[in-house]
Amino acid sequence: MTAGADYSRHVLGLWFDVCDPGGPRLGAIDRLAQTAEGRKLARFAAMLMVETGFKDESVHAASYSYKPIDGSWESGEAEAFLKQKFGAGAATYDEIKAQRLTAAQFTDFLFDSVPVEPHITVLDVGCGTGLVGERLLGKVGVLDGIDLCEEMVAKARSKNVYDRLVVAEAAAGLAGCGTHDLILCNWCLLYMPRLDDFFAAAARALSPGGQLVLTVYACGDAWDALAMGEREFAHSRPYLRRLAKSNGLAEDRMEIRVLCASPGYFCVFDNP
């Protein structure tokens, strides 16, 4: 198996096996994933599958390209790494099409899933440069944001769409921001191997009747979370459900959709 045409042929071959009802389906993914190269291909194939509606299959395939979490992320270096990574990219963040599209796809899901009304208060966690906030301008009563990267927050502030912006780590920021009717967290939880602190803080920061709308990269149900890259993580449905339940939240919607070229879970949890 090599790059180029061969590569495409293998990805397409796998995709045909998966969508052929009489074909090997998931077994085709399992077979391909026997080799390291096959596991790399599985990730590309997952993208094709999620785009074409083979959603559970796409999560199955993508999980093969992820790895068990080894624990090295636990160190305090993670926050410094993220500040550096996003600090360096803040100025040009909005120029990248995939980043604009990912924010737009999240807000499409949001508008499709929950009432976004002029009187509600909204907190955008991991708000980045404010690409989600921009799409809420004029549609909600209060819009606040939290992000751990100062440069990203400065960019968001320059757009004048947030009422209040706080530079803080998500759970700590949530604890200090009062309650909101709607808490959003798009494309940010991938930097957290464990979501326990986030869920606990978000549940406490939701108004009664409020909703938490979030995205994560998706991994298969057999794990809580898997590592996608150096400091990026995918999370599973059972893990999200367990955290929601243990923090008193009820699942309202959980869908597999494209999250920047990989399968993701797009979720709404209600604070009853």
Ligand X SMILES: C[S@@+](CC[C@H](N)C(=O)[O-])C[C@H]1O[C@@H](n2cnc3c(N)ncnc32)[C@H](O)[C@@H]1O
List residues near ligand X by CB under 6 A.
Answer: 82, 86, 102-103, 106, 126-128, 131-132, 146-149, 152, 169-170, 186-188, 191-192
Q: Side-chain half-sphere of 9: how many Cα atoms within 13 Å?
A: 6
SS3 (DSSP) at 195: coil
SS3 (DSSP) at 207: strand
Q: Backbone phi, then psi, for 61, in 5-degree steps?
A: -70, -45
Instruction: Please tell me the distance from the alpha carbon of residue 159 to that of residue 198, in angstroms, as a whole number.
Output: 27
Closer Cβ to ligand X, 142 or 154, answer by number: 154
Smallest gap, in angstroms, from Cβ of residue 24 to ligand X?
Answer: 36
Q: Backbone phi, then psi, for 182, in 5-degree steps?
A: -135, 125
Only one residue has tokens 């320059």, namely: 158
Closer Cβ to ligand X, 129 or 271, answer by number: 129
Smallest gap, in angstroms, from Cβ of residue 90 to ligand X?
Answer: 8
The DSSP output letter for 13 is H
The DSSP output letter for 33 is T
String of DSSP letters for 134-185: HTTTTTSSEEEEEES-HHHHHHHHHTT--SEEEES-HHHHHHTS--EEEEEE
Smallest gap, in angstroms, from Cβ of residue 6 to ligand X?
Answer: 32
Smallest gap, in angstroms, from Cβ of residue 106 to ligand X?
Answer: 6
Closer Cβ to ligand X, 186 or 271, answer by number: 186
Closer Cβ to ligand X, 144 or 147, answer by number: 147
- Stated as kind and residue range, the H or E segment containing 36 is helix 36-51
Q: Is the dihedral of CA 235, 187, 26, 244 positive or negative?
A: positive
Closer Cβ to ligand X, 154 or 254, answer by number: 154
Closer Cβ to ligand X, 62 or 146, answer by number: 146
CB nearest ligand X: which residue?
A: 128
- Stated as kind and residue range, the H or E segment containing 121 is strand 121-125
Smallest gap, in angstroms, from Cβ of residue 182 to ligand X?
Answer: 14
SS3 (DSSP) at 40: helix
Contact 201, 229 (CB under 8 A): no
Smallest gap, in angstroms, from Cβ of residue 7 to ligand X?
Answer: 27
Smallest gap, in angstroms, from Cβ of residue 171 to ligand X?
Answer: 8
Closer Cβ to ligand X, 42 or 136, answer by number: 136
